[in-house]
A and B are shown apart, each in its own frame.
Chain A
Amino acid sequence: MTPLAGCLLVSALLFSVGLAGALTRRSAILVLAGIELMLNAANLNFIAFWRFGAHPEFLTGLIFVIFSIAVAAAEAAVGLALILAIYRHARTSDVSEITEMKG
């Protein structure tokens, strides 16, 4: 197994765990945590493809990931704020009970 394949395997596992968490958890905060896991799986991929790719001397992958982490932090802040607002409004953070937007 090449180091790249090992990295991709770990990242795929991480993504699957995140996805499973986002899909199955009822608490909105845990759904958000699952999304963060999937995001970090993607970041891991960026790093792996940069490190084992054709031009590791350019810092493209690293910069990209730093941006991504910054955006993810902002997103987590907004997401948590939204969850708090929803909790205040609906007195719950159970995503299966918040169905006001159904068609």
Chain B
Amino acid sequence: MMRPESMSWIVRNLWLIPALPMAAAAVSALLKRSERRLSAGLAIGSMGISLVLSLMAFAEALADPARRVVTFNWMQFGDQWVQLGWLLDPLAAVMLVMVSFVGLLIFIYSLGYMAHDDNFTRFFCFMSLFAGAMLGVVIANSLLLLFMCWEVVGLTSYLLIGFWFHRPAAAAAAKKAFITTRVGDLGLLIGMVWLYGQTGTLLFYNSGAGCLERTAVAGMEAHLTVAGMAVSTAIGLLIFCGAAGKSGQVPLHVWLPDAMEGPTPVSALIHAATMVAAGVYLVARVYPLMSGSALEVVAWVGAITAIFAACIAVAQNDIKRILAYSTVSQLGYMMLGLGVGGVAVGMFHLITHAFFKALLFLGAGSVIHGCTEDQDIRNMGGLRRFMPVTFAAYACGMLALCGFPLFAGFWSKDAILHAAHGWGVSQGPFYLGAVGALLTAFYMTRQMYYVFLGQRRLAEATVSPAAVAAHEIPAEQIEPVVSARTGEVCIIEHPHESPAVTTQPLVVLAVFAVLLGFVGTPAWPWFQSFLAGESAGLDFGRFGEAGLLPLMAVSSLIVFAGLGLGWWFYGRKPILHATDPDALEKIQPGVFHALANRLYVDELYGVTVIALTRFCAGFAAWLDRWIFGGAVRIVAWMVTGVGWLDAGVDRFVVNGGFDEGCRDVARGGRLLSHFQNGRVQNYLRVIAVALVVLAAILLWGRRG
């Protein structure tokens, strides 16, 4: 390890990047509710500084791709010091820039989106805390530090999904997200403990002594455990459990679509761009631990997730839910990329996806805002005319997601499919991925037709004249019409384009969604080389590599086929009424309903895992109430009985005795006080009598 003085300023102070947003969150937590500007300013300002620092870190990594670590002692634990630390390598640098940049854009977007919310201050507090924790995950050089930030990320995710906690659905979704990810985190925790037991350290890199470095990994690979697995494989799989929970991999994907109950910027930042990518990042970070068989599991889980979620997305009607399933599916692709191709392949898709999925979510937020909070795509249609900027940006994001040639998603998805095609173990994941790509193009086309193209369908929100006056809705957005049903004149509000603070982040993200892919094309694999610490040259000859161009042609064809199918079902005949059944529903109602009900995974969990849990909980409650509680109650009764007895003894025996004694003393006093009647002569008389008696006794005694 280099001495700290010899490192550059940014490496030594890398901790500032997560610390600033966290500090902003801490300050905003103490602000009054009315301090909206200050809170938002703190969040955006700290995020801006973090972005600048991240860019400095990126430049540093660009100049010298060697990994640099800073460790410090945290606390003493027996006779050992637990060490934490941060590191800067190309992987962390890329993630830092991505998280802080997307985060900053989404913060700015939130200014417009959350402008009318009462809890604006709380929102920015949580968002800053989230961003800080996420940046902490990225730079952590210790699995323990990573885990701590990881859990803070999970906590803020819970808080933000349940941000509108007065809605029961949001509260339930928050709980579901928290509990489901906990299931995965249990695996991660066990893996972490095991790793510590095996290597005695949780630092990733520590000049040869870290747990991801050659000595430790070789030791773990040599060591076999249950079912002939190497210890490193087992630990890798346990850590993958945590990653699967966070990244919504089958079978722990159920929370992610429900997480869309949170505000849309939250969906964009946490549940599309950054937090769900944390799982992928974790796998990429501990990649040295992942041996062949662990990677096979990762690849298969990823491939299955990719196609599974894509199928479900086909039949959803909620604009955000479609995107949520699409996210699950894309996360599957990333895992597939990690499993079959390596860190660079998965991470490239992570980065491109972060931009275009944030774009899609923010676009969806803009649509929802414009349509007076309606999220059902059947009630939209024809929004292209009303929201041109949103439409254009959304189209860029949609084409990038589909993998339309030359858009960002094309290059990254193609790299994954190419790697899957060349995978020596099985061709299964490749075919699953290819079908998933077809479905992706199909459901995104469906969504575009439903939302932006075609004609406007019902649910033009009716507003009262008072509301028009109160909210100062511009005159061109409203139109008095005679209602066909009631014959009354009512005013309808057209969907409207969002304000500039909302649309400008969309435009910026759209530019990235189009162009970002060019940093990792086969001809100029700059991104991949950067992660590997090499430099890349421009060489179009690489397109000539075996099977690359045909594969690209095939994947383009798949995309075109998906778009064409979408047009065939939804574009050929315009969708006229919101109540019309879906085109697919007409052909295959059974399949459509199964997909619309998310293949009954939630119901399956309801009758298995949850029922079992409820039964166990009920049994435990019964045990607690009647066995343990009974024992406690019997003891309590016994103690009460003894107490009663004691009180009785006290009251009647002890107190009675004392009272009687006191009464006697008082009586005696009263009797004696008669003698002291204040007449001095009486006293004298008594003395005189006593004197006589004394004299008599003395005389008597003398004589006797």
**Which residues of A are interface residues toward B (Cβ below 8 A)?**
19, 22-24, 31, 95-96, 98-103
Contacts and interface: CB of A to CB of B under 8 A. Distances in A.
Contacts of A99: 677-679
A19 B686 CA distance: 12
A24 B682 CA distance: 10
B688 A96 contact: no
A22 B681 CA distance: 7
Contact of B678 (A22, A31, A98): A98
A96 B681 CA distance: 8
B681 A95 contact: yes
Interface in B286-341: none
Nearest to B674: A103
A94 to B, nearest CB: 10
Given A103-B672, A103-B673, A23 B688 contact: yes
Contacts of A98: 678, 680
B699 to A, nearest CB: 14
B3 interface: no
Nearest to A102: B678
Interface string B662-684: 00000000001111111111001
A44 B684 CA distance: 22
B46 to A, nearest CB: 86
A99 B676 CA distance: 9
Contacts of B674: 103
Contacts of A22: 681, 684
B685 interface: yes
B675 to A, nearest CB: 8
B376 to A, nearest CB: 99
Contacts of A101: 676, 678
Contact of B676 (A19, A95, A96, A103): A103
23 contacts: A22-B681, A22-B684, A23-B684, A23-B688, A24-B681, A31-B680, A31-B681, A95-B679, A95-B681, A96-B679, A98-B680, A99-B677, A99-B678, A99-B679, A100-B678, A101-B676, A102-B673, A102-B677, A102-B679, A103-B673, A103-B674, A103-B677, A103-B678
A101 B677 CA distance: 7
B688 A95 contact: no
B567 to A, nearest CB: 119
Interface of B: 672-681, 684-685, 688
Nearest to B692: A19
A27 B677 CA distance: 18
Contacts of A19: 688
A99 to B, nearest CB: 3
A98 B663 CA distance: 31
A95 B685 CA distance: 13
**B interface secondary structure, majority:** helix
Contacts of B685: 23
A31 B680 CA distance: 10
Nearest to A97: B679
Given A102-B678, A103-B675, A103-B678, 15 more contacts: A22-B681, A22-B684, A23-B685, A31-B681, A95-B679, A96-B679, A98-B680, A99-B677, A99-B679, A101-B676, A101-B678, A102-B677, A103-B672, A103-B674, A103-B677
A102 B673 CA distance: 8
Contacts of B688: 19, 23
Given A19-B688, A23-B688, A102 B676 contact: yes
A102 B678 CA distance: 4
Nearest to A100: B678
Nearest to A20: B688
A96 B674 CA distance: 15
A33 to B, nearest CB: 14
A96 B688 CA distance: 18
Contacts of A95: 679-681
Nearest to A19: B688
B435 to A, nearest CB: 114
A20 B681 CA distance: 11
A81 B672 CA distance: 31
A5 to B, nearest CB: 16
A103 B676 CA distance: 5
A96 B679 CA distance: 6
A62 B70 CA distance: 114
Contacts of A24: 681
| 6 interchain residue pairs of minimum CB distance | A99-B678, A102-B678, A103-B673, A103-B676, A102-B677, A101-B678
A23 B681 contact: yes
Q: Residue among B673, B681, B685, B688 with the most chain A CB within 10 A?
A: B681
Contacts of B672: 103
A99 B679 CA distance: 6
A36 to B, nearest CB: 14
A99 B681 CA distance: 11
A101 to B, nearest CB: 5
Q: Residue among B673, B675, B676, B680 with the most chain A CB within 10 A?
A: B680
A101 B678 CA distance: 5
A83 to B, nearest CB: 12
A19 B685 CA distance: 9
B144 to A, nearest CB: 84
A13 to B, nearest CB: 16
A19 B675 CA distance: 20
A12 to B, nearest CB: 11
Contacts of A100: 678
A97 B248 CA distance: 107
A31 B679 CA distance: 12
B345 to A, nearest CB: 110
A23 B684 CA distance: 7
Contacts of A31: 680-681
A24 B43 CA distance: 106
A19 to B, nearest CB: 6
A41 to B, nearest CB: 13
A71 to B, nearest CB: 20
A53 to B, nearest CB: 19
A15 B146 CA distance: 113
A34 B80 CA distance: 102
Nearest to A98: B678
Nearest to B677: A102
A102 B679 CA distance: 7
Contacts of B676: 101-103
B698 to A, nearest CB: 15
A101 B672 CA distance: 14
A24 B681 CA distance: 8
A31 B682 CA distance: 12
Contacts of A96: 679, 681
A22 B687 CA distance: 12
Contacts of B677: 99, 102-103
A90 to B, nearest CB: 12
B668 to A, nearest CB: 12
A102 B675 CA distance: 8
